[in-house]
Structure 1
Amino acid sequence: MKKSNYIIGFTLAITGAFLFSAKAIYVKLVYRTEAIDAISMLALRMLFSIPFYIITAWVLSRREGNVKLTLRQWGFIALLGFMGYYISSLLDFMGLAYISAGLERLILFLYPTFALLMGALAFRQKVSRTQGLALLLAYMGMMVAFVADIQLQAGNDVIVGSLLILGCAITYAFYIVGGGQIIPKVGSMKFTAYALIFASAGIFTQYFVTHGTAVRHFSGHTYWLCFQMAIVSTVLPTFMMSEGIRRIGSGNTAIITSIGPVSTILLAYIFLDEPVTWLQLAGTALVLAGVLMISKKNER
């Protein structure tokens, strides 16, 4: 691998991970701006994001040598899009109404451990002793961080929010495991664009079923925050991560994205005034250690 190619890939991956981690900050800021439900905020996010994915899908379909998807591939991408960016995102936005941005990112960061377990169950992939230890470290760290948040706010809210984010992590892991099976066949950019389009269709459908077709009015600040969330924490990092994976590999990219929980905690401290305790930092360190062990093992 050329050094310049690796540097570009590394820069794209770490920047994408940092931008992704800001999503929770935007969601919390919107909740503080006005009373809004999760599906409305998610619909605004995708309303601003979807044109970029439609254009990407159109450009890719017009390329010379483009291979048309089979009916089965269309169905699989639609299922993964619904799970990974519709159900998962909805649970994430709902959970952030109850818990801190830092705890949300830590729970969500457990998705590689769930992906490992799904791979073991679905494809009979053996879990090594190192991976077992990594799982133990990650879940111990999660419990430490969970206890730290319970001490800072009402226990019931933390439990409800954590369960919602846990569901988000599990459905996203399903998306990652399934994506690993189909991306080599259709390409990462095409897969991402189509998956986001299908997810948006589900989001808009739920929005219209819930709120009808009448135009709802929100504050200008809410629209501005959702627009930033769409561009800064959705469109840009999606393409940056895809290109990063292409240049330096999925394993290296997964390890680099470990900056996510740390950057979220830092951003939450700066923009949301969320407290940072030693117990939270200890839990974060254990989760990162466990996930990094799994990522390095998978890369080898």
Structure 2
Amino acid sequence: MHSQQLNSHTRQHYLGGLAIAIAGAILFSTKAIVAKLIYRYQVDAVTLITFRMAFSLPIFAAIAVWQMRNSSPLPVSDRWRLVGLGLVGYYLSSFLDFLGLQYITAGLERLILFLTPSFVLLMSAVWYRRKVSMLEWAALVVSYFGIVLVFLHDLEFGGKDVLLGSAMVLGAAVSYAVYLIQSGQMVRQLGSLRLVSYAMCVSSVACIGQFFALRPVSMLLQPAPVYFLSVINAIFCTVLPVFMTMIAVQRIGAATASQAGMIGPVSTLFLGAFFLAEPITGWQIAGTVLVMGGMYLLTRKKM
């Protein structure tokens, strides 16, 4: 009886973690939908990302201060590394992502970003001489073929804009992959909560500073829906997914959480159709299945 209760509790704990991981992945993917809705008000990428980071900064700053009070001071070298990680991982990656979203569909954007684990694998092979197995090469070929299918389909209708937007989002995925590789040691040293809060504060300051350097202050005056959507973007598409993913990883492990994240591209495809009237074609579904299949093979290998 006691064993059954224990198994039931363990299963509930696992299912709860899985639900949190899925919800976090969907919320994070919704970022592209919200950005597209904001762009309808003639807001540019610099202003969009400024509002996103400005509304999320108080939360991350509060967590960073709390972490500082309960932790020993960082050496100067680690502080500079954190600044670099914040600029590459969240500032540059987010900026390129939102720039690219001006030119491509939310579905294609999410698929390209979903290739980040494959870039981590390739960079590890180049920088750290990590051996890539035949299964991993097969996973890369399958997933990249899926991207090519969707890209060529969108290119037919969007022309050079699709090429430009895809290149920008690809740059976002690569820069975030660099962040993931370089942050590995610091995560073990600082913990994920402390690292993320510090890096997000650095990124937020960079984004807000960029706005005042490139745009007039008058551009902070926007229609009410822009503020409303920006708060959603900051809280529900940035802050909550970050913490939900961390909780899910603690409950069910990184491998299972990353597999649950595969719901992201699918949710973006259907959310884009519902909110943005983006078409869902057979080519897009086929490409999405291939990309998800390739990434699934990679996560299975890690296990």
Q: What's the TM-score once normalised by structure 2's chain length?
A: 0.94
Return the offset for 1:18: 0.6
**1:22 is paired with a residue of what secondary structure?**
helix
Q: Would you say the 8 A contact 1:69–1:186 is kept in 2?
A: no
TM-superposed CA distance for 1:253, in Å, is 1.2
Q: Which runs of 5+ in 1 are unaligned?
A: none
Partner of 1:59: 66
Give the CA deviation at 1:208.
1.0
* Structure 2 contact 47–219 (Cα < 8 Å) conserved: no
| Residue 196 (1) aligns with residue 203 (2) | no
Query: SS state of the match for residue 98, structure 1?
Result: coil
**What corresponds to 2:15 in structure 1?**
7
Aligned 1:114-193 pairs, distance under 5 A: 114-151=119-156, 153-193=157-197
Tell me what 2:44 maps to.
Answer: 37
* Of 250-259 and 1-10, the range deviating more from structure 2: 1-10
Contact 2:47 2:220 in 1 (8 A): no
Query: Which secondary structure does the structure 2 equivalent of 1:68 belong to?
Result: coil
Letter in structure 2 aligned against 1:296: R
The answer to whether the 8 A contact 1:80-1:178 is kept is: yes
1:113 pairs, out of 102, 115, 118, with: 118
User: d(CA) in 2 for partners of 1:124 and 1:73?
Assistant: 25
For residues 250 and 181 of structure 2, the distance between their equivalents in structure 1, rounded to whole angstroms, comes to: 18
Conservation of the 8 A alpha-carbon contact between 1:28 and 1:96:
yes
Runs of 4+ in 1 over 6 A off after TM superposition: none
Q: Write the mapping of 1:92-103 to structure 2, written as runs, cut at 5 A.
A: 92-103=97-108
Q: 1:60 offset after TM fit, Å?
A: 2.1
Q: Distance in 2 between matches of 1:68 and 1:10?
A: 35
Q: Report the CA distance between 1:238 and its aligned residue.
A: 0.8
Note the C-alpha offset of 1:212.
4.5
How far residue 206 of structure 1 moved from its aligned partner, in angstroms, is 0.9
Is the aligned partner of 1:71 residue 2:42?
no
Corresponding residue pairs, total = 295
> Aligned partners of 1:180 and 1:245: how far apart in 2?
15
What is residue 214 of structure 2 aligned with on the other side? Answer: 210
In structure 1, distance between residues paired with 2:294 and 2:229: 34
The question of whether the paired residues in 2 share the 8 Å contact of 1:148 and 1:277 is answered with no
Counterparts of 1:150 and 1:242 in 2: how far apart (Å)?
Answer: 36
Question: Offset of 1:121 from its aligned partner?
Answer: 1.3
**Aligned AA for 2:117?**
P
Residue 289 of structure 1 is matched in structure 2 by: 293
What percentage of residue pairs aligned between the two structures are identical? 40
- Counterparts of 1:127 and 1:149 in 2: how far apart (Å)? 31
Aligned runs of 1:80-99 on 2, under 5 Å?
80-99=85-104
Instruction: Give the letter aligned to residue 62 of structure 2.
Output: I
- 1:176-214 alpha-carbon deviations (Å, 9 max, x no partner): 112222211110110110010011111111111102455
Alpha-carbon distance in 1 for matches of 2:19, 2:247: 10
CA RMSD of aligned residues (A): 1.4
Deviation at 1:154, TM superposition (A): 2.3
Contact 1:265–1:276 (Cα < 8 Å) also in 2:
yes
Does the 8 Å contact 2:55/2:231 carry over to 1? Answer: yes
Indicate the residue corresponding to 2:246 in structure 1: 242
Instruction: Work out the CA distance in 2 between the residues paired with 1:293 and 1:96.
Output: 28
- In structure 1, what is the Cα distance between the partners aligned to 2:77 and 2:252? 30
Query: Which residue of 258, 261, 267 corresponds with 1:257?
Result: 261
Match of 2:54 among 39, 42, 47: 47
Letter paired with 2:93: S
Q: 1:181 and 1:262 mapped to 2: Cα distance?
A: 32
Structure 1 residues 184, 164: closer, same or farther in 2, change over 3 A?
same
